[in-house]
Amino acid sequence: MDKKRKAALKGAAQQLEATVHVGKEGVTEKVVGEVVKQLKSKRLVKVRLLPSMEQDRHEAAEKLAAAASAVLIEVRGRTAVLAKE
Question: Over 90: is that where the pLDDT of 65 sits?
Answer: yes
What does the radius of gyration of the chain's CA atoms come to, in whole angstroms? 12
Tell me how many domains the chain contains: 1
Residues of the chain with pLDDT > 90, as a percent, come to: 87
Q: Which domain holds residue 59?
A: 3-84
Q: What pTM does this model have?
A: 0.90
Cβ contact 71:82 at 8 Å: yes
Render pLDDT for 33-51 as a digit per residue (tens, 0 to 9).
999 999 999 999 999 999 9
Q: Report the pLDDT averaged over residues 11-28.
A: 92
Assign residue 24 the CATH number of its domain: 3.30.110.60
Q: 45: how many CB neighbours lie within 10 A of its CB?
A: 26
